[in-house]
Amino acid sequence: MSSSSVVPLVPAAVLGLSALTYKLTWLDDARTSALPSLLNTCMRASKKNPNPSLTSIPSLDDTLCARLAFFKEVTESRAGFGAFCVFAAIVVPYLLRVSYVASSPNYRPSPLPSIALPLLASMLTSISTLLLGRGLGLFIPSIITILYTVTALTKSRSQGIPPLPAPAAAIYGANLVTFISTILLALQLSASSPSEARARIHNSFLAPYIGKDVATQIPLVTSLLSDFFPIVVALPLLVLGLRSVSRPKNEAEATATMKGYLAEEIAYCFERTWSYYRQVGLFCAAAHMYGVVRMFRGFVYDKAPLTSSVTLLLLLATTIGASLLSIVAVDHLTARRDAIDEECSTAIARAPAGNPGVEDNFWVLFILGLICGPALPACLRFAVEEERNGWKGRRAWRMAVAKK
């Protein structure tokens, strides 16, 4: 079976896992009295006891009620907080990868599918988006996998075009998207009660721009601002960063773009990216192991029950982890095979930036994945790919300069 025929099976497997997660957390009778009823309870409470002194935004009340109740259930035990750490340890490298793909000039001919990747992934940081969408947000990882496969197949067709470095503005924009989307998880934990959360919103810098009359007349808008806040943040940053990204359609345009870089610039652009991958991988490995230890102590020593919120986080972490590993598989299956691959491998082996004995060994990465979670092996593979692209990019730059 050829690689091209195997590629569609990867997003299909993640889609099946998303469907299983949706069934276990939303459709089964055992779970029907948990997450869906939480939403119904919040909505009934806001309609039954309207309190104009709190806020004039009913939809935002419902969102805060569901969000805070969810995280209160998650963080009230060691096991719940451990599940949250495991979830965060997988979301961070996931956001980083799709943000870097969006900022990369090597995905052609259209950047639109790749831009949608971080916008969708940032929605995973808003648990209320997953819940208030009646559980349909659980399919976001599979949608991302499908879009990523499309962009990877597009990239694989651009034979003969040397890999280009992502401009500094695009990388910084991608880093900001990853950072801001990640800290939203912590911000959702910062409020101890719905009234405190409402007070913080009304005291924020947005308060003068959201009039009570407008909010009362258009509650849907305020609900969208709350649920899709990651997109509101991510989109301007991506647009500003991507304005500096040139996506050449042929080798001549790529060579012309390459000549605009200095030697130290083209080296630094690639080195910055793979160093970020390795740093994030190590950080998330530590967070994953910490979360596993917390869950073990919670379930074994504290005899904590497996609540619906913890179940949702663990299943969602499994789905996102599968999507992250599927991205690694798609990258491997759609990788461009160049005549200089052997020369590239020899050159990197002589002066590697990482550890080829670990990063190029499947079984070592497999064992690392079992111990440290999927984030570390995935980030190491992304770093290796970027390191190889950097060597090929520097070689193409030297050839382009020599032709002047």
Could you tell me which residue, 352 or 62, shows the higher pLDDT? 352
Can you give the pLDDT at residue 131?
Answer: 56
Task: Map out the domains of the chain as residue ranges.
Answer: 3-402
- pLDDT (tens digit, 9 = 90+) per residue, 235-274? 666 666 566 677 777 777 777 777 777 777 787 888 888 8
The residue to which tokens 């301007």 are assigned: 236
Please say if the pLDDT value at position 401 is more than 70.
yes
- The pLDDT assigned to 380 comes to 92
Report, as an integer, the average pLDDT of 359-388: 89
Residue 144 CA to residue 11 CA, distance in Å, equals 9
More confidently predicted of 65 and 140: 140
Top pLDDT among 283 and 309 is at 283
pLDDT band at 157 (very low <50, low <70, confident <90, very high): low
Mean pLDDT of the region 89-107: 82
With cut-offs at 50, 70 and 90, classify the pLDDT of residue 378. very high
Backbone angles phi, psi at 201, to 5 degrees: -65, -45
The predicted structure's pLDDT at residue 355: 78
- Indicate the pTM of the whole model: 0.77
State what percent of residues in the chain have pLDDT above 70. 62
Asked if the model's pLDDT at residue 285 lies above 90, the reply is yes
The b/e string for 313-336 (b: 16+ C-beta within 10 A; e otherwise) is bbbbbbbbbbbbbbbbbbbebbeb
- Whose tokens are 């647009």? That residue is 239
What sign does the CA torsion over 101, 387, 287, 309 have?
positive
Looking at residues 355-366, what average pLDDT do you find? 84
What's residue 207's pLDDT? 45
Q: What is the DSSP string of 198-235?
A: HHHHHTSTTGGGS-HHHHHH-HHHHHHHHHTHHHHHHH
Q: According to the model, what pLDDT value does residue 221 have?
A: 41
Q: Which of 30-34, 356-360, 376-380 has the highest mean pLDDT?
A: 376-380
Report the range of poorest mean pLDDT among 64-68, 248-252, 293-297.
Answer: 64-68
Q: What gap in Å lies between CA 276 and CA 379, rounded to an integer?
A: 9
More confident residue, 287 or 360: 287
Q: What is the pLDDT of residue 269?
A: 80
Q: Report the number of secondary-structure helices (H) and strands (E) in the chain.
A: 21, 0
Q: Quick one: tokens of 183?
A: 């800290």
